């Protein structure tokens, strides 16, 4: 079950965190991986791990907020193999309410988190229409509940869920399934860096506080998000489209 043998997958933001976990797992399951990321060093590290495990992967330096760069990256992929799977994982975070979020902050979040998906899907989908495939977008619990000081970030993730539903409706006739995942907090290098930057000397205390905000009592592991992504991108999920999947340790339904 959950084999991706003979499948080709594009993973944006595949160099680190959730994207790395997805890339590693998909490669382990037999997929040929194309990592699109702006962090060349991190991408090369992921590539090295995949190749040492016997997998097949390539890295393409690609800022998803730049349309021409995305078109060129996707063209370089499809000249080798049309993707069967597209995982839109690349994204950036932001802290702030509407008053202390600048127009530049807002535009940057929208450009990467929303237009980034728009650019990649628009470049890929004409090639995927002939044989069908799977598109999986990374949303967030921020799209589902009100979070303090996450105004612009929540805006972008709400848009991701809405775009997912629209794409699922438009391309179901081409046998293209489109779903999204909405994680709560996931322990990635980003979280560690955030704590070091904003709470120097209090990292351990704040880590425990953030972990406890999930009713299950901890943050998710990137590998747990990757496992759900694998299921949704596998043939075993062939009857699933147009759905957002919270993976949140009970955050959305059990916090009251």
User: Which sequence positions are flagged as catalytic?
Assistant: 153
118 CB-near residues (< 8 Å, 6+ apart): 163
Q: From the centroid of its chain, how far is CA 236? A: 20
Helix axes 115-128, 151-171, angle to 10 degrees: 20
Both tokens of residue 170?
Answer: 């438009």
The residue written with tokens 């496992």 in the block is 227
Between strands 133-138 and 176-183, the pairing is parallel
- Residues 112 and 63: their CA atoms lie apart, in Å, by 8
The residue written with tokens 């997912």 in the block is 164
Handedness of CA 152, 158, 164, 167 (dihedral sign): negative
Residues 169/171/172/176 CA torsion (nearest 10 deg)? -130
Both tokens of residue 100?
Answer: 């202390």
Both tokens of residue 216?
Answer: 């299950």
**Which secondary-structure segment (H or E) carries 35?**
strand 32-37
**Nearest residue to 84 (alpha-carbon basis) of 174, 183, 181, 182:** 174
């Amino acid at each position: 079950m959950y084999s991706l043998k003979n499948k080709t997958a594009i993973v944006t933001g595949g160099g680190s965190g959730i994207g790395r976990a997805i890339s590693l797992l998909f490669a382990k399951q037999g997929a040929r991986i194309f990592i699109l990321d702006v962090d060349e060093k991190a991408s090369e590290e992921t590539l090295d791990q995949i190749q040492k495990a016997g997998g097949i992967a390539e890295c393409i330096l690609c800022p998803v907020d730049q349309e021409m760069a995305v078109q060129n990256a996707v063209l370089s992929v499809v000249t080798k193999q049309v993707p069967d799977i597209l995982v839109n994982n690349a994204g950036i975070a932001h802290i702030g309410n509407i008053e202390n979020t600048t127009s530049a902050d807002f535009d940057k979040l929208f450009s990467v988190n929303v237009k980034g998906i728009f650019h990649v899907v628009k470049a890929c989908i004409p090639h995927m229409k002939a044989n069908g495939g799977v598109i999986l977008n990374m949303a967030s619990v921020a799209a589902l509940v009100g979070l303090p000081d996450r105004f612009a970030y929540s805006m972008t993730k709400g848009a991701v869920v809405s775009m997912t539903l629209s794409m699922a409706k438009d391309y179901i006739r081409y046998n293209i399934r489109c779903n999204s995942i909405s994680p709560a907090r996931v322990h990635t290098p980003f979280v560690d860096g955030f704590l070091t930057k904003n709470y120097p000397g209090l990292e351990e205390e704040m880590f425990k506080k953030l972990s406890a905000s999930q009713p299950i009592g901890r943050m998710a592991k990137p590998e747990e998000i990757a496992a759900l992504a694998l299921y949704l991108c596998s043939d075993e999920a062939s009857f699933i489209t147009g759905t957002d999947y919270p993976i949140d340790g009970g955050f959305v339904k059990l916090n009251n």
